[in-house]
A and B are shown apart, each in its own frame.
Chain A
Amino acid sequence: MLGRIDIAEDAVQEALVLVWRRAHQFDGSRGSAKGWIYTILRNRCLTMLRSEDREVPTEPQAIDRASESAAVNEAFDRLPTSTDLRGCLEGLDDGTRRAILSSYVLGHSHGEIAGRLAAPLGTVKARIRRGLLKLRECLS
C-alpha cells in the first residue's frame, strides 16, 4: 500500500505503539484481536498516505499505473476460489470491482479512483456505493 519498505516499517512501528497504548480499549466481545490490530495498522497507513509531509510518492509522474494494476490483480487472483468474497467480487462489473479493490489494497480515495478512471467524482462515488450494496447483499 505504501510502496516503500522504510515507510512500511514506520507504519508497522507506529501501529504497534498504538496497539500498546490502546490495549486497554480492546474488547474481545466486539471482534477479534487480529481484526483490531489490522484496523489500527490500516488506519496508520491511510493517514500516512493522506498526509502531505510524508515521502509517499503521490505526484502524477511517480505513479506507476502498471504496478498498481498488478497489485490489485494479484490481490484478487490470490483470493482462494472458495471464499465468498471472491465469488461476490466476480459478480461485480470489472470497473467497480477494481475501484473497490484499489481502495482496500492500495488505499486509494474516491478522488484518486476518479482520477485514474477519468470519470466525475460523483459518478465514481455512486458506482462504488452500488457495488458495495451489491457486495453486501451477496455476502450476507
Chain B
Amino acid sequence: MTDRSLDLLIDEVVLGLASDAETARLEDLAARDPDIAMRLARARDRFAPLDETADDLPLPEHFWERLEPRLSKSEDKSQAPASDSSGGDVIDLEAVRARLSRWRSAAMGGIAASLLLAFVLGWTLFSTVDPLVVAVLLDDSGEAIALVESGPDNTTRVTLLERPDVPAGEVMQVWTKPEDDGPPVSLGLLSTGLSGILSVEGLPEPHPSQLYEITFEPAGGSPTNLPTGPILGKGLAKAPVT
C-alpha cells in the first residue's frame, strides 16, 4: 500500500466512511505496526476538536444502576481466560491488578465519555446559566417576544415569550454585538423552533447595553454569517440586580 492510500484509509476510518472490512484491516495493521498506530492516533487527534463542539448533557436518571449489571456480566467473561492461563484454580492476581489499574486510569475518561451523550445526539438540551446580563427582545410593535440571559462564557438561554411564526424552510438565528460598533455575531440557531440554550466560544464577556436580536434565516443559518432576514425582536442587555 502506498503512503498516500494508507493516509486515505486512515482518514476514512477516522471519519467513519470506511467499510467494516477496511476498518478491521487497518486495526490489524495498527496492532502490528506501532508507526501505523501512531499515524491513526494522530489522524483521530486532528478531528478531535469536533468532539468538543458537542454540548455536555446530564446523565439520564439511574444511568449507573442500569450500567452496573452489564459490567459485572462482562467481568465474568473477561476473567475466565485469566484463570485458565494460570492453571484453573489459581487466581493470577498480577493480571487482575494490572487490569484494575488500567481500568482506573480509563475510568476518568469513561466519565467524560458518558457526558458525550450530546455528541451522540447532536442536540441541544438544557443546562443552568447564571446570567451576567439579561435582555428582553421586543418586536416592531413593542411586544416582548423573548427573554435572553447570558453567562460570562456567553452561554445564552433564550426563552421565547410568544410562539413565533417561523416561515417554512427558515430558522430562528440569535445574534449579538459584542462590540457596539462591530458586526453582529451569531450565537446559534433555535433549530427546533423552541426556547433553547446556545453556547459559543471566543467572544468577550457580555456587557450591559449589548445588543441581542433574533432574525429569520434560511434553514441551516445565514449564508453570509451576518443577519439577512427580518428581525423577530431585538433588545439591549442589562445587568440583573443581585
Binding site for B on A (CB under 8 A): 1-5, 8-9, 11-13, 15-17, 19-21, 23-24, 26-39, 41-43, 45-46, 65-67, 69-83, 85-86, 100-101, 103-107, 109-110, 128-129, 132-133, 135-136, 139
A102's closest neighbor in chain B, by CB? B15
A29's closest neighbor in chain B, by CB? B34
Known: A19-B106, A46-B16, A69-B219. A38 touches B77 (CB 8 A): no
Give the shortest distance, in Å, between A138 (CB) and chain B (any CB): 10
Query: Which residues of the partner chain A approach B99 to less than 8 Å between Cβ atoms?
Result: 23-24
Query: Which residues of the partner chain A approach B63 to less than 8 Å between Cβ atoms?
Result: 9, 12-13
CA distance A43 to B15 in the complex (A): 10
Binding site for A on B (CB under 8 A): 4, 7-8, 11-12, 14-17, 23, 30, 34, 37-38, 40-41, 44-54, 57, 60, 63, 66-67, 70-71, 74-75, 77-78, 98-99, 102-103, 105-106, 108-110, 112-114, 116-117, 119-123, 125, 169, 171, 186, 188-189, 191-192, 199-202, 219-221
Q: Are B17 and A31 in contact (CB under 8 A)?
A: no
Query: Which residues of the partner chain B approach A37 to less than 8 Å between Cβ atoms?
Result: 106, 109-110, 112-113
- Option from A17, A23, A136 in Cβ contact (under 8 Å) with B11: A136
List 30 A-B residue pairs with CB atoms under 8 Å apart, sorted by A's residue number.
A2-B121, A3-B123, A4-B121, A12-B117, A13-B63, A15-B113, A17-B71, A23-B102, A26-B102, A26-B106, A31-B38, A35-B41, A35-B44, A35-B45, A35-B48, A36-B109, A37-B112, A70-B219, A74-B189, A79-B50, A80-B201, A85-B47, A86-B49, A103-B15, A109-B17, A128-B17, A132-B12, A132-B15, A133-B8, A135-B11
A contacts with B: majority SS: helix
Q: Are A133 and B74 in contact (CB under 8 A)?
A: no
Q: Are A1 and B113 in contact (CB under 8 A)?
A: no
Q: Are A23 and B121 in contact (CB under 8 A)?
A: no
B contacts with A: majority SS: helix
- Option from A16, A21, A45, A103 in Cβ contact (under 8 Å) with B67: A16
- Option from A3, A16, A41 in Cβ contact (under 8 Å) with B121: A3
Give the shortest distance, in Å, between B242 (CB) and chain A (any CB): 29
A27's closest neighbor in chain B, by CB? B37
A84's closest neighbor in chain B, by CB? B46
Q: Are A17 and B121 in contact (CB under 8 A)?
A: no
